[in-house]
Each structure stands twice: as structure tokens, then as C-alpha cells.
Amino acid sequence: MAKKSYSFYPGCSSQKAASASNYLTSVQSMCDVLDVELNEIPDWNCCSASIGYAGGGELPRLALSARNMALSEQAHPGQDIVATCAACWLATKETQERLHADEELMKETNEALAAAGLQVKADQKVRHMVEVLIEDFGYEELGKPVKKPLEGIKIAGYVGCQTNRPFGIAGESFENPKYLDKLVETLGAEPCENYEKKVQCCGGALAFSEPEKSQELIKGIIESAYDNGAELIVTPCPVCQMNVEVYQDQINAKYGTKFKMPVVYYSTLMSVAYGKSLKEAGLDGQVIRAKQLEEIAKK
Amino acid sequence: MSEAKIGAYICKGCGLGDRLDTSQLVTIAEREGKAAIAREHDFLCSEAGVQMIRDDIANEGVNRVVIAACSRRAKTDAFDFDGVCINRTNLREGVIWVRPDTDEDRETTQEMAADYVRMGCAEIKHMNPPTPNEKTDASSRILVVGGGISGMTAALEAARAGYPVTLVEKSGQLGGVAAELVKRVPERAPYADPEDTGVAALAAEIEANELIEVCLNSTLARTSGAPGCFSADIATESGTTRTENFGAIIQASGFKPYDASQLPELGYGKTPDVVDQMGLEALVRAAGDGPVKRPSDGKEVERVLFVQCAGQRSQKEGHLPYCSGHCCLTSIKQAMYFKDRNRDIDTEILYTDLRTPGAPGEDFYRSGQQKGITFVKGVVEDVASSGNGAKVKYKDIILDETIERDVDLVVLATGMVPNSGVDIEAVSAPNVEGAEDDAGDNGGDSVEIPVESILNLTYRQGKDIPQLKYGFTDSHFICFPYESRRTGIYATGPVRRPMDMMSAIEDATGAALKAIQAVENAKLGRAAHPRSGDLSFPSFRKEGCTQCKRCTVECPFGAIDEDEQRYPQFNESRCRRCGTCMGACPVRVISFENYSVDTVGQQIKNVDIPDEFDEKPRILVLACENDAYPALDMAAQSGQQYSQWARVIPVRCLGSVNTIWVTDALNSGYDGVVLMGCQKGENYQCHFVKGSEMAHYRMSKIDDTLSQLNLEKERVATYEVAITDIERAPGLINEMAETIDKIGMSPFKF
Amino acid sequence: MSEVIATNQTILVVGGGIAGMTAALEAAECGKQVILVEKNPSVGGRVGQLYKYFPKLCHPKCGLEINLRRMKANRNLRLLTMTEVTAVTGEAGNYQVSLRTQPRYVTENCTACGECARAVEAEFDNEHNFGLGKRKGAYLPYSLAYPMRYVLDPRIIGTDDATRAKEACKYDAIDLDMQPQETQITVGAIIWATGWRPYDAARIQPYGYDRFANVITSVEFERMADPHGPTGGKLLRPSDGKEAKNVAFIQCAGSRDRNHLKHCSRICCMATLKQTTYLRDKYGDDFKASVYYIDIRAIDRIDDFYQKVRADENVSFIKSKVASITEDRETGNPVLNGVDTEGYHRYSNPHDLVVLAIGMEPSVPAGEFPVDVVLNEEGFVQQDEANGAFFAAGCSSDALDVNRAVQNATASALRAIQVVNRVAGTEV
Amino acid sequence: MSDYNQQMIEQFRGNFLKEVESNVEEGEWVKMCMQCGVCSGSCPFGPHWAHPPQEIFMMIREGEREQVLTSDSMWMCTSCYNCIVRCPRGLPITHIMHGLATYAKRLGLAPKEQPTAKFAQLFWDNLTKTGRVNELKLGLALYFMNGFSEGIKTSLKMKDIGLGMWKTKRLNPMEMVGGHSCKDTKGLQAILAKAQEIEDAKIGRSGA
């Protein structure tokens, strides 16, 4: 297969030594194998996620994503913009949609961008890495490079919110998307098909400001994973990964549960299955270590 | 009619040959049934079998055909011969399919079949092929009463099909209520904005159509006759009257807006700034293209509140118990009058259930929201004059709060009251028509009904069309919505049921078709629904008649009048051929060529009644051919069984059952009689509306006869049976068999 | 199939449901020549699948029987079953129509004795019961099927079952070599009465019709209530056959929703009210019905039926579009989650069974018409000059209840008659 | 700020619906709600909403300005988009909630001490400073947002997490000094300033 090139928007959490740096590591390893070239958008900025709203109003928020698109258009014309973070993807795609739906808004946005000598057409396709994998490769292709099938591991596919709604992955339903399960199968592991909480919200950004309320949700997400016999949770979203992984001790303390459920990225699974090392797969980034995967990676 | 020559044909197909001794049946047909020709055939409905019968008709002069095979409901296309009487003796669904195929049952099964062959031959002996009484001189002109949207549409649509029309309108102009509207709810996609009412265009088209004659300021002083030959006196205000003949009548007398002054609790009358929907139309018309002014002081309206279901959907005294269907859409339209003038005018619609059905309705609702109309689920608690418009207090059901609003104008969405003339059954309910009373209790009388007649029919049973409920002239309103109880007279528009303009236009177009159909039927002497195409009609022997008038009272369709000597006068094209008159007649002088006291009576007589000690009872089952008989058929199809003692005779309607059949049966040794008719009463399913009810009434009186014969009254049972009673119907027969087991055989066996 | 005689004074009616039958009969009883084509083996359409009608709670088969009798008696009316319209050309007063008739494999010889069905082994989902329960590969579609003739399922052709059926038939009524037939006819006007189909419930994802056994549709519930339906009239929940006594009805399932059908399907509210009476009939006082609704649309005179049901204290009404359904793994009970908007109350209510009052969509989707017609956004046929002598009847024109469908069909019959009368130059 | 509030009250003469339509992100959608309540039932934080979305829409129509804008309900939105995908009328409910929250904050009516409101502001300030979010600073700022002693408690409570993150190189103390940033922060800030200016002008907040 020929090399595929994309205009890449890593997002804040993927930066070095940030909460999802291990995500980026595993994505890069995965992309090496799949011969995907990720061209980082030069000088990209934060998308303001879905929490910046109360600080910046509507237009400033849109302007942030617009700037990223503008830079991408300059640097990587004709390439699709690919984000690995759900929030980044959503914010950018939403901005694109709004700008095209509303000429006025497009005008005002460009007026704002002009302040830094930029202008935006917002005509590059904005995609999530998962879309790229499913649409540009497909499960069969993704299965080919598997060197170490993840045999015997039962994995709950936790899709979460923003990779799923409002856009989601083409052909998948909002209530019961199946692509993570299919991916897990492709890699030789066993999916938990009846995992009820696969699209349950984890509290998102409110995990910071409303920890109790959010952790109540997170508890449900992990509990149901255990109920379905899962040994691992896999997710496509850095916010989900962080929220579901790092608060388990606090939840155990509060609810007397004994959670110790590793939460990894699809890219981690793939890197391991593709025979990458523990480090390359970002497994060293697990706060709760994914022992089975480490075993396989070490083999 | 030439000498009757019976051909009896016994089929051996579908297992009949294996289960029955068909050669014995042939003999019975010949010896007892007096069949000139009797043949058996392996496969009677096959080309060959049918050809055999055709040949006998052509070459042997057979004119009475007994087909002893499957049910009359099967193979109708095969057994379809012209100019002869046909009897379908039901040996398959009626005998072998309802009896077990065992040796001990063989004998009784054969007896069953034998009896049915006897019955078939007996019936056909007394049948004559009906001779169509064609009215070549029948009038094709259609009389439309009422010049509103419904009436105008009906007139125009009938004319477009080539039929001449006379349109009689009470007022001085066409258009009715619609003419008072500024605009109408949209009829065409995208259903976003009010549309022109189209009244002017419609009126112009009517003026221009040379097939349509319009009589304004006119009413019907007198209407007599029957489909094809109605005669109406059209009286003008100026006092002149002229008489004209019509083939059919369409009553489009419309509705009156409910009298809002009965709603003081909603502020009507307290301040002129509370109006009903028609009141608002007037205000908006007065405003022209300018701003709408409030009545009290002419101030421009800036805040208007619409109250849905005003005096509707309520059991309160004087309120309408029903929903008028159009009001939600109308209020949205009226709110748009304001929004389209000035988006800043506050328009609020207070509703409990917003009813905007279908694609047009929901699109229009969305368009209303789009234009900024506010919708609130709420109920008015109080409306008072504030000296500056009206102060409305209402409960917001969503927020569960009471809210006060000062508005310039309150519009009450009041309902429609049908303009259906005299409620003839309320005026003079024949003692037999018990069911109508409950209809009354269900709000029939809570609706004020205008006393002046619309049609002024000279019918024995009254001046106007019978009503169903709340004053609406509806009838079999689900399957056969146009079938009024006055043949050739069709009600359409809001007089039939509450409806908006869009349905009224559909409804009127359909009514025009029915009128045209009535004309065509009359020309050929054909019955209308449900016995469409039936050419038989009742006649009576004047000599025997005692002028008891039961037939004229009981005919569900008011088909029978009285002549000057008080004898019944049958109006053939009004008749639906149900035979209720025949059932009513105590002296049995009424009959049809192919359905009479004899055709059934002789079947009853010709059943073989074994004597008491044979322990072989006989049960006569008189089953309505519309529901009960098909139910028994389908029971057979689905493998149900019933007593070998039963002998089932289909009747046109239980109303046609003459008590003589029951008493004769009991006298001649039958052990039990079961009558099966359709549901009666308010939700009647009887296709002749009152037939089943009449029968039940008559049978309630049979006990005296039984005690005279000193027989147990359990020997006669009358039931309402639905077509779906596939287990129940056979069950009822078996119950009778058990009853007879208990109380013993009839003593009347000879 | 014998040659069909039709002229430009003939009226073609497409669809043998209540609307098509009515249009065909009313026209034929006016003396017009009518051809009625139905794609299924028998006429009756959706009403043939209903247990009772609202608000009279009478039986659709009752009216159907009368219409069948009218049909049998009328020689102006020619019925072609298993037939579809493949193409239409020409204009008002002169249409050329191509028909395709699928093989029934059973001839007029059939006496409906049922021997073939007894002989055949293969079973298939019973479409008359919306797939609840099975039927044989040789079958009579339903008790009132007309023509009263059996059908061979094409899937058994070429199998031993087919030969078994043929051998079982004493009347040589089975012809395994039947082929599809193409017929060309000329007609003056076309009445389009192709009706509606239930919206695909699986697409309403939050309700998990595809995931939870005890979430069914209103049309399925209707079949269950029918004594001659798949459960013999018992209201049993699919997961475990337990009697469903605590039943939730969800209104606007697919209707009034831009994610599904934009329009209001009109009948669903009344259908649900009717179906609550089934529960009372079956269980007396020992049942609970909960109706989750946005607006109850019991339109016009029949609103009194709503008032009657509302007065039943075993039936409760919750103004709420249910947000989601989850399943209680232990009991298999569907749990409805949402908010009662009247005063804001949250609920998570378990029920034995959930009935989705499923919306109606036109059977023939836009783009699949054999000729250009003006449709509205929702895909219903508009009454429009541009349609020439192509008239919609019944639910191809809008979401209608039976009496409105009949009313509309009768009107369409007249519109068609106007055209053929013009053609004939009839002067009365 | 509050004179801005006064100004708006006068401008819209108590017609809150109209105010929302012109001043709140996607506010023109509010009138399209048909009160089915599917949004309220779909929200993961549902039980924590004093007034769920559909009720807020009704309150707006009834002109309950004060109750709506001072409510902390909108601040419960986790941006999960459940309501949006289920709304039968296609209302962008998530954005309307964000819009209402933002608007309330600008009017100075948002509840004081609303944690999400504060966090959102911190997040914004944090990202606009350098163009990228600095999680550590953000985190600490968050913990200390309710005053020093509170902050110590929270940080202690959170320290294990911090530790875990640091061990796994997903958090770097060095971030306190320098850390990630866009190069062209000037340009970015200019863009944001301009955007803010345009928006303020639109919703009558010029100079505010």
C-alpha cells in the first residue's frame, strides 16, 4: 500500500509529558506500521475543547479552530486534517460545519483571522484517526500486519461521547457503535458485545469541576466492564482514557470498590498486536498497568 | 317465469366423495328434492364440471341450480350462471369439515349432508330469478343542499363527471363559513403559510358551469320519492316554489359555530376583547392589510392569546363532548395573521393536546413555531377584563405554575355544531329502538340541535336523515363512511363529522361519487350497499295486509311509506334488500322473488326430524350471512367442529327472521333454535344498522310463544356474533346441543 | 394469466388494501371497467392484519367480507394478484402500463382444500404476522384471503417440497413451471393506492428494538391480540413467553421526529388507546398500561374514546418522549428512562413489555414510482395538475386512518371517472 | 457588567425569548422545542439539573429571565451531545446550554462559586495565554480556585493522581516554567481580541 499523508492536529493533551502523551506515542508506532505520514499542523493552537465556552464567546471559540484550519490549508493543502483527540476533532469539524452553514459567520471569522494575516476556506476534510483507519484501510487491511494476536484478552470497547456524537463514525449508531468491538476482534482479542456503557458519558471536562458527579458516572462505566467480564477497557478518546483510568483509586476509596481496570487506546492495542515494544506502544504510560498487553509486548 | 326445472349437482371433490355417500345424495335430490336432473361430479368447479352444468342449462332447460359442494363464499367465479337461480348447498365447510372423519360419525355426517340437499332443493323450488325493475326514465340530476365548501365541491365534482346539478343555498351567496375566512390552512406543500380560501374561484367556476344550476335564498319545502325519482319543492324567500326531479341528493348543510356566549368562564361577554375564531376572522378582514385592532378601543393588537378546546372535549353541561379537529390548525393560521403582519406581535397558543396530524399538519405546526408563535401546554383558570384588554390567568402544565398575562385579545377556539336538521329518533323513537337512548346519554342531547328540517322529507319515519351521535349524521363511519340510512341521500362535510376544509373537500368529492352511483343503480334497479347489485326487491300481498305498519316503522332505511289507504308503499330504490320488513310482518305478506318466508320456511320443513327415541335432536341455526355465516365457514377452515344436530340456514340479516320460522321449527319437532346476528346498539356492526336490534327485540318476546307450547325457553337463543368468533360461534351451537342433552328432546316430534 | 382487456376508458387501481378495494369497487359500481392489481397473493392489505378498529372496537374482517362479496359479485372489476406496475407512459386518458405478475404456482383449479400445505415441510416467517410465527411453504395467506387460493413460496420451487405439494394436489392445481408474466395494458386513469408500511423500528436506536426482545411494535402487538394471530390472542412477551400485564406504549415511535419521519402518523394515538382495551379485555383489572406521549391526537368526534380510556385508572398517561430503554438483565424487563415533563419528574420505569406505536411511511419511496409524480417532502403523493390522471388514494396521499382512507379513495374514484367519462365523451 | 444586564432588560422590555434569540448562541432555536422532554431524559448529569433543558426552554418562553440566567443548570452540561442527537426537532441543545451559560456569565448573573464556570474561565485564560493548555498550571489553578487552604486539601487529595501521571511521564513539573506554547501567540491573541470585539458589538456589549 502506498504511503498515506494527512495534516495532523495532535492537540494539547498529546503533547510531550501531557496527559495523553502515550496516546501520541502509540499512534506514531501504529502509523509507522500502516505507512501513514502525519504532518503536524505548524503552530497549531488549542481548540478550547468543550469547556472554553464560558471564557470565550462563540466567535472567539470558532476563531481558534478556524486558525488551525487556516494554518493547515497553508502548510498541507489538499490533505485531510486528522485529529486523534475527540474534542479537537469535534471542535474543528463543528467549526467547519458552522462556517459553511452561515456566510455571516464565515465573514466575521475571516475578519478576525485577518488580524494575524490569516484567512480560512475550511474546505479540508476534518477526520478522526479512527475514521482514517476504518475508511481508508478497513478491518481486513488493519488485520494484515498483526504479528501478535491479542489472544485470550476480553476487552470492553468504550466509545464515549464525542467520537460518537453528534458526528460519529459513518455507518455506526449513536447508541450502539460496534467499531471498537470489530477492531478488537481484528486484533485477535475478544470484545464484550453487550457492554451497555459503551457510550455513557464520563463527565468529560466536568471531571475536574464536578468530580463527585463525574466519578459516579465513571464508576458505572468500569462496573459494567467488569460485569461483562472485561480485563481491559479500550477507548479512542484521551479525555475518556484519563477520566476512566486515573480516578479509580478515589472511586475505590469512596465506594469501597476494588477497581483496577487498565484503560488503553485502540492505538496501544494495535501497536502491541503489530509487534511494537512496550515503550513504543505507550504501555509505560499506563497509570494502571495493562499486564496482559505487556506480556504480549515482551514476547 | 317458465316452469321451475331443478338441476342438482353433487361434488365429490375436496374429500366429499370419501366422506359422503354421494350417490345416496343424488337419489335424495331426485326423489325428495324433485330435481329433474341430479348428477355427481369428481371435481365440480373444474372446467368440465362447470361445463356440465352449463350444458344442462342450455340443453335441458335447467333454471334452478343446486350446487352441493363448498360454501357459497368459495368458488363464486366458477359457479356464476346467468338467468337461473343458484343454491349453494354447503357440504364442505358446512358438513365434512366440521365433523370428525370417524366410523361412528359417518352416519350422522351423512344425515347432515342429506338434510342440506333436501333444504337446498326445497329453497330453490321457491326461488325465482329476480327481474330487474329498470328505471330508464330515472333522473340523473343531483340535488346539492348547501352552498358552502362541501356543497360547492360536491356540485362541481359531480358536474365534472357529466352530471347535471342543482345547488340549493339558504343564504344569498355561495361560500358558507369559508367565505367569511380571510385565508385557509394550507392544502399544498410545503404547508408553511395560510392560503387563499379559493371560495371565489370555486364560486366563479360554478357560475360558469352550464351543468350547474344555483338557487340562492332557497330551501327545500318538501322532498319525496326515491333514488332516481326524488321530487323536491324548492322554495325561495320570495315565496315562489317550484318542483323538480332528482336522481340523488347530497346534504352539505354544514355546521354552526358553537355559541361562545355559553363560555363566560373564558371571558366571552365580559369584554369585547374576547372573541371566537369567527370573530377574529371578522376583525382581521376589517383590518385589511393594516394592523388588527382590538374591539374595545381600537388599539392595535400587540399581544394575543389563543385558547384551544374552548367548550370542547368536555362533559360539562352545554359543552361539546368532542374535538372539532380543525381548531389547532386554525389557531396556528390565525396567529400567523398577526406574525405575518408584524413579527413583534406576541402570539401565544394555549393547548392541552396539539392536534396537527399528518404531513400537512405537522409541517404547519413547525412553520408556526418558525414564525415565532409560542405554544404553551396550559389550561385557562380565569379571564377578566383588565380595562386595557384582558387579563388571563392560566396554569402552565409544564412549569406547573399559574401565570398571569395581560393581552389585547383572547381568541377562543370553539367547536363545530352540525347543522343536521331534525333528530327524528329523538322526536319519535319507536319503542323498539332502545339503543338510541344510550346514544343520547352519550352527549347526543348536550349538543343543541336546530329544530328546522333541512330536507323536509315526506318519509314515514321523519323529515331528516337519522343521526348517529352528537347530532352528526355519520353511519358505518369506518368501512363505509358514506352510507347514510336514507338511500340515495348522502351527507357530507361537517354535518357528518367535525372536519377541516381539506377533509371536507375530499369528503364532498366522495359524496358526489356516491350520488352518481345511486343514480346509476336506480336506472338498473340495482340495490345499493351492502347488497350492491342485488336485483330482488320486496313485494307484498295487499289482500293479506292488516295495515299494522310494523314494516314501515321497522325498515332501517325508511324505505316504506304509507299510501292514502294506509297500506305500506314500498319505494324500491330506497330499499337495501335486508328483509327486515319481511321479518317484521306478522301476517307474512312481504317477500322477495328469491328470498321469502317460504324459501327459508321450506328449508326448515324439509329437514328430516327423527322421532324422539332416536335420540337425534335437531338444532336450527339461523345465521346472518354477513358475519355469523362466514365465521362458521372460517371455523370449519381452521378445523373447528360443531354438533352434528345443527342445520344452518344463512339469512340476509337477522332482521329478516320472521318469528314464524322459529315457532314452526319448534312445532315441527326441532329441539333448539339458535339465532346469530351482528352486534347491535351504539357501536352496531349490523350492516343494516337496525336489523340485528329488531331481531333481538322480537326474540325477547318469543318466551310467551314458548310457554304456550310449554317448552323451556332455553330452546331458543339469540346471540350477537362477530365474524372473528371462529371458536365462539361453533361453541354456541354446541352449548345448545348440551342444553338439549340436559333438558331433553322436544315433545313435538311426529 | 388470460389476456386482460382494457381500454382508455378503463381505470387501473394499484394496491388492494382498503383504499384500493374501495376505489375499485366504487368505480365499478358506477358501471366503470376497473382493473385492480395487488402485489401480494391476496387483497386486504393492512386492515387484514388488524384485530380491531378504533373507536368501535369492531372487526376489520367484517367490512372486508362485505367488500369481498361486492368484488365477487361485480363483473366490471378484474383483479390481478401478485402483480406490480413496472412502467407507465402516456398521458391522462391514455396511459400504457406494463404489469409484471409473479408466479403463484397454483392455478384456478385450487379448491383451497389445504392438502398441499399438509404435504410441505419447509416453514418460513409468517409475513402476515410480521414474522412472529411461521407458515408453511405452501399456504393460504390468512383466513379471509381472496382469491381463496393457496400460494407456493418461491423458495421451495425446485425442492422436494415443491414436488410433494404437486403430488398432494388432487386437482392438478399446482403448476411448478409458472413463469413471471409481463402484460401491457392501456388505461384512461390510474388510482395509486399502494398504502403504507411500518417504519423500521430498529432505526430508533435509543429504544433498542434490535437489542431487547421485549420491545415490540404496535403492529406486532396487534397480531398478538388477534385470536388467530401467532399467540392465539395471548399477550405474551417474546423473551420468556410470560404474560405481559404491565405494558408501556411509546407514542411517536419514528413519527414527528426529524431523525426519522417528519410527519405525524395520525393513527398511532388512537391505535394505542385501542390497544389498552385489549389489556383490559384479557386481564380485567389486573393490568397496567402506561402511555408515554407528546400530544394525544384523538381527532374529532372520536375524542370521546380517549376520554373513556383516560377514565380507566389502570391506564396512565405520561407526557414524555422516552429518552432511552435499557434492559434489566435479571428480569428481562425493559426499563424506560426519561422525564415526565408535566412538572419535571424523572423516571426509570420497568415494564413487562414495551409497545412502540410505530409510524407509517409510504410503501413506495420517492424515486421508486413508475412515473413522475409530485410528492411532498414526506414522500406522500400530492394532488396536482402535473400528475395528470394519476390519483393517490388512501395512505399514499397522507397518513390516514381507515375512514379517511376510504373517504379519500372514494374521492379518487370520482376523479378517475371524470377522466374516463371525458374520454368516452359521455353526456348524461 | 450589571449595567450591561440593565441595558439588556430595557432593550428587550421583558421579552426574554427575543433576548435569547438575538444574544445567545443558537438562541433562535428555542422556539422550536415541542416539549417532548427527550433532552432532559438523556442528560448524564440529569439528576443534578434544577431545570432540565426542555424546562429551561419553556421558562424562556414564559419570560422567566431571572430564574433561568441565575440557575446553575446550564453549567451541568458535560457536552456529551446525547440531547442533540435525540432531539426530534434538531435543536442544538448542547450549544444553547453553553450559550446561555456564557450569556449569564457576561450579564454577571451566573451563580458565584459555580465550579464549572470558574474552571471554564481558568481553562480559557490558560489556553489564551500561550495558545495551548498547560495541564499542570490548569490543574493547580483549579485546585486553588476556592482559596488557598481549600487548594492545599484538594492538591493533597489529587496528589496521588499527579504522582501517577508524573511517574508515567504524563505530567511534568518542569511545565511550571515555560512549557508548551504556540510561537505566534501575539497573532492568536489579536485574532481572539478581534473576534471578541465583533461578537460584543453584535450582542450590544460594545465597550462592556
Of the partner residues D105, D188, D199, the one whose CB lies closest to the CB of residue A58: D199
Residues of D in contact with B398 (CB under 8 A): 35, 54-55, 58
Give the model's pLDDT for residue B475: 80
Q: pLDDT tens for residues C370-405? A: 999 999 999 999 999 999 999 999 999 999 999 999
Neighbours of chain C (3+ CB pairs under 8 A): A, B, D
CB within 8 Å: D123 and A17? no
CA atoms within 13 A on the CB side of B517: 30
CB within 8 Å: C205 and A196? no
CB within 8 Å: C257 and D88? yes
Architecture of domain C11-102+180-195+363-424: 3-Layer(bba) Sandwich (3.50)
Fold agreement (C11-102+180-195+363-424, C199-360)? yes
**Chain D interface, mutation test: which of A41, A47, A51, most D Cβ atoms within 10 Å?**
A51
Residues of C in contact with D32 (CB under 8 A): none
Fold agreement (B260-414, B539-590)? no
Please report, rounded to a whole number, the percentage of residues in chain D having pLDDT higher than 70: 88
Burial of C199-214, coded b for 16+ CB within 10 Å and e otherwise, reads bebeebbbbbbebbeb
Of the partner residues C67, C113, C263, the one whose CB lies closest to the CB of residue B15: C113
Contact between residue C370 and residue C95 where contact means Cβ atoms under 8 Å apart: no
Q: Are strands C315-319 and C288-293 parallel, antiparallel or unpaired?
A: parallel
* DSSP per position, B464-481: S----BTTB---STTT-T
Of the partner residues C58, C300, C407, the one whose CB lies closest to the CB of residue B481: C407
CB contacts < 8 A, A to C, total 10
Residue A263's beta-bridge partner residues?
Answer: A233
The correct answer on CATH 3.40.50.150 for the domain covering D2-111 is: no
CB within 8 Å: D42 and C324? yes
Instruction: Compute the distance between CA of residue B233 and CA of residue B229 in angstroms, rounded to an integer.
Output: 13
Average pLDDT over residues C327-350: 97
Residue C426: pLDDT band with limits 50, 70, 90: low
Of the partner residues D76, D101, D157, the one whose CB lies closest to the CB of residue A53: D101
Give the model's pLDDT for residue D158: 78
Is B747 exposed, middle or buried (CB count within 10 Å of its CB: 0-12, 13-18, 19+)?
exposed
Give the model's pLDDT for residue B470: 94
CB within 8 Å: D47 and C319? no
Cβ of residue B497 closer than 8 Å to a chain C Cβ: yes
Q: Is the pLDDT reported for residue A2 higher than 80?
A: no
Q: Which of C410-419, D148-157, D170-179 has the highest mean pLDDT?
A: C410-419
Of the partner residues B366, B369, B403, the one whose CB lies closest to the CB of residue D62: B403
Instruction: Compute the distance between CA of residue B123 and CA of residue B67 in angstroms, rounded to an integer.
Output: 12
Provide the CA A254 distance to its chain's centre, in angstroms.
Answer: 28
* DSSP per position, B265-302: GGTBTTBTTEEEHHHHHHHHHHHTTSPPBPTTT-PBP-
Q: Nearest to residue C116, comparing CAs of C158, C159, C71, C163? A: C163
* DSSP per position, C100-167: EE---SB-TT-----HHHHH---EEE-GGGTTSSEEESEE-SSTT-SS---EE-GGGTTSHHHHHHHH
Cell of B488: 340515495
CB within 8 Å: D170 and A210? no
Distance from CA of B356 to the nearest CA of C (A): 8
Instruction: Compute the distance between CA of residue D78 and CA of residue D87 in angstroms, rounded to an integer.
Output: 17
Cell of A43: 503552530
Q: pLDDT tens for residues B226-260? A: 999 999 999 999 999 999 999 999 999 999 999 99
For C210, the closest chain A residue by CA position comes to A176
DSSP class of B3: P
Instruction: Compute the distance between CA of residue A280 and CA of residue A282 in angstroms, rounded to an integer.
Output: 5
Q: Which residues contact B723 (CB under 8 A, 6 or more apart)?
A: B626, B627, B628, B630, B631, B634, C59, C61, C62, C65
Question: What are the φ/ψ torsions at residue B666 (nearest 5 degrees)?
Answer: -65, -40
The correct answer on CATH 3.50.50.60 for the domain covering C199-360 is: yes
DSSP class of C332: -
Give the model's pLDDT for residue A1: 60
* Domain ranges for chain A: 4-129, 147-298
CB within 8 Å: C205 and A176? yes
Q: pLDDT tens for residues C203-258? A: 999 999 999 999 999 999 999 999 889 999 999 999 999 999 999 999 999 999 99
Instruction: Compute the distance between CA of residue C247 and CA of residue C224 in angstroms, rounded to an integer.
Output: 13
Q: pLDDT tens for residues B182-230? A: 999 999 999 999 999 999 999 999 999 999 999 999 999 999 999 999 9
Instruction: Compute the distance between CA of residue B606 and CA of residue A24 in angstroms, rounded to an integer.
Output: 98
Contact between residue A87 and residue D153 where contact means Cβ atoms under 8 Å apart: no
Q: Domain B609-750 falls in which CATH fold? A: Rossmann fold (3.40.50)
Residue B427: pLDDT band with limits 50, 70, 90: low
Contact between residue A66 and residue D33 where contact means Cβ atoms under 8 Å apart: no
Q: Nearest to residue C290, comparing CAs of C347, C233, C224? A: C347
Neighbours of chain D (3+ CB pairs under 8 A): A, B, C
Give the model's pLDDT for residue C198: 98
CB within 8 Å: C208 and A175? yes
Instruction: Compute the distance between CA of residue C421 and CA of residue D55 in angstroms, rounded to an integer.
Output: 59
Average pLDDT over residues D99-125: 93
CB atoms within 10 A of CB B82: 6
Contact between residue A23 and residue A267 where contact means Cβ atoms under 8 Å apart: yes
Q: Nearest to residue C262, comparing CAs of C399, C405, C400? A: C399
Cβ of residue B622 closer than 8 Å to a chain D Cβ: no
For B395, the closest chain D residue by CA position comes to D62
Instruction: Compute the distance between CA of residue A241 and CA of residue B702 in angstroms, rounded to an integer.
Output: 85
Is B314 exposed, middle or buried (CB count within 10 Å of its CB: 0-12, 13-18, 19+)?
middle
Q: pLDDT tens for residues A185-220? A: 999 999 999 999 999 999 999 998 999 999 999 999
Q: Is the pLDDT reported for residue D141 higher than 90?
A: no
Q: pLDDT tens for residues C31-58? A: 999 999 999 999 999 999 999 999 999 9
Contact between residue C103 and residue C178 where contact means Cβ atoms under 8 Å apart: yes
* CATH number of the structural domain B1-129: 3.40.50
Q: Which residues contact A4 (CB under 8 A, 6 or more apart)?
A: A34, A35, A36, A37, A132, A136
Q: Is the pLDDT reported for residue B438 higher than 50?
A: no
Q: Is the pLDDT reported for residue A279 higher than 80?
A: yes
Quote the ipTM score: 0.95
Cβ of residue D87 closer than 8 Å to a chain A Cβ: no
* Domain ranges for chain B: 1-129, 142-257+418-524, 260-414, 539-590, 609-750
Residue D144: pLDDT band with limits 50, 70, 90: low
Average pLDDT over residues B127-151: 93
Distance from CA of B372 to the nearest CA of D (A): 6
Torsion of CA B648, B650, B655, B659, to 10 degrees: -40
The correct answer on CATH 1.20.1050.140 for the domain covering A4-129 is: yes
Q: pLDDT tens for residues A79-124? A: 999 999 999 999 999 999 999 999 999 999 999 999 999 999 999 9
Cell of B17: 366423495
DSSP class of C396: G
B26-45 residues touching C, CB cutoff 8 A:
43, 45
Cβ of residue C205 closer than 8 Å to a chain A Cβ: yes
Q: Are strands C196-198 and C215-217 parallel, antiparallel or unpaired?
A: unpaired
**Chain B interface, mutation test: which of C26, C49, C65, C397, most B Cβ atoms within 10 Å?**
C65
Stretch among B52-56, B707-711, C90-94 having the lowest mean pLDDT: B707-711
CATH of B260-414, one of 3.30.420.40, 3.40.50.1100, 3.40.640.10, 3.50.50.60: 3.50.50.60
Is B289 exposed, middle or buried (CB count within 10 Å of its CB: 0-12, 13-18, 19+)?
exposed
Contact between residue B91 and residue B97 where contact means Cβ atoms under 8 Å apart: no
Q: pLDDT tens for residues B452-492? A: 999 999 999 999 999 999 999 978 889 999 988 999 999 99
Helices and strands (DSSP H and E) totals, chain D: 11, 0
Residues of each domain in chain D carrying CATH 1.10.1060.10: 2-111
Average pLDDT over residues B126-147: 92
Chains A and B touch (3+ CB pairs under 8 A): no
**In one letter, which amino acid is A254?**
K
- B142-257+418-524: CATH homologous superfamily? FAD/NAD(P)-binding domain (3.50.50.60)
Residue B434: pLDDT band with limits 50, 70, 90: very low
Residues of C in contact with D90 (CB under 8 A): 258-259
Is B564 exposed, middle or buried (CB count within 10 Å of its CB: 0-12, 13-18, 19+)?
exposed
**Chain D interface, mutation test: which of C256, C291, C344, C347, most D Cβ atoms within 10 Å?**
C344
**Chain A interface, mutation test: which of D20, D48, D74, D81, most A Cβ atoms within 10 Å?**
D81
Task: Name the strands in the sheet holding C345-350, side by side, starting at the edge strand that comes first in the sequence.
Answer: C324-327, C334-340, C345-350
Q: Nearest to residue B67, comparing CAs of B111, B109, B12, B21? A: B12
Q: pLDDT tens for residues B17-65? A: 999 999 999 999 999 999 999 999 999 999 999 999 999 999 999 999 9
Give the model's pLDDT for residue B80: 94
Of the partner residues A20, A115, A249, the one whose CB lies closest to the CB of residue D191: A115
Distance from CA of C295 to the nearest CA of B (A): 5
CB within 8 Å: C205 and A173? yes
Question: What are the φ/ψ torsions at residue B526 (nearest 5 degrees)?
Answer: -95, 145
Q: Is the pLDDT reported for residue B387 higher than 90?
A: no
Cell of A144: 494484515
Architecture of domain B539-590: 2-Layer Sandwich (3.30)
Contact between residue B285 and residue B293 where contact means Cβ atoms under 8 Å apart: no
Q: pLDDT tens for residues B267-314? A: 999 999 999 999 999 999 999 999 999 999 999 999 999 999 999 999
Omega before B190 within 30 of 0, i.e. cis: yes
* Domain ranges for chain C: 11-102+180-195+363-424, 115-168, 199-360
Length of chain B in residues, anyone? 750
Cell of B527: 340495490
Give the model's pLDDT for residue C186: 97
Torsion of CA B89, B93, B94, B98, to 10 degrees: 160
Residues of A in contact with C206 (CB under 8 A): 175
Architecture of domain A147-298: 3-Layer(aba) Sandwich (3.40)
Of the partner residues B370, B376, B401, the one whose CB lies closest to the CB of residue D61: B376
H, E, C per residue of D69-122: HHCCHHHHCCCCCHHHHHCCCCCCHHHHHHHHHHHHHHHCCCCCCCHHHHHHHH
CB within 8 Å: D41 and C257? no
